Amino acid sequence: MKLDKLVLAAKKAREQAYAPYSGFTVGAAILTKSGQVFVGCNVENASLGLTICAERSAVVTAVGDGEKDFEAIAIVANSNKPALPCGACRQVLAEFSPSMEVFVATTAGEQQQFSLGALLPLPKQGLFENPDV
């Protein structure tokens, strides 16, 4: 899938965001190694801590459909600069595909590209695999 199509899918997903408190709307589109695309948007909650980010929303949708191998994710936000995934989203993405590509964009079209490894160089490893950590 071309990058433009992945970004467009994220941009469309952003239109479904529920952000009545911050007004910060985000959409994400995750590309699986099998070529499927799953989308998600941020969903805020009055408690703030229960808010779910677009990236994790897309991951949950993909995993619920049996997909766990990801190649890339595109994230589009209504911000002045491309918004990078938060730390929680970086860790969740790394759980499945630590070497995936991350594309971030604004609704105005400004884009940047990173490897997930550059954004999260030392992801937390499973505690059950190494109890000394």
How would you write the pLDDT of the chain (133 residues) with one tens digit per residue? Answer: 688 999 999 999 999 999 999 999 999 999 999 999 999 999 999 999 999 999 999 999 999 999 999 999 999 999 999 999 999 999 999 999 999 999 999 999 999 999 999 999 988 776 666 555 5
55 catalytically annotated: yes
Place of tokens 């799953």: 38
Backbone angles phi, psi at 23, to 5 degrees: 75, 5
Q: What is this structure's pTM?
A: 0.91
Strand-strand pairing, 101-106 and 111-115: antiparallel
Cα(131)–Cα(133) distance, integer angstroms: 5
pLDDT at 10: 98
Catalytic hit among 44, 55, 101, 110: 55
Domain spanning 3-117, CATH class: alpha beta
Place of tokens 């609704």: 107
Place of tokens 């490893």: 125
Ordered by start, the domain boundaries in the chain are 3-117
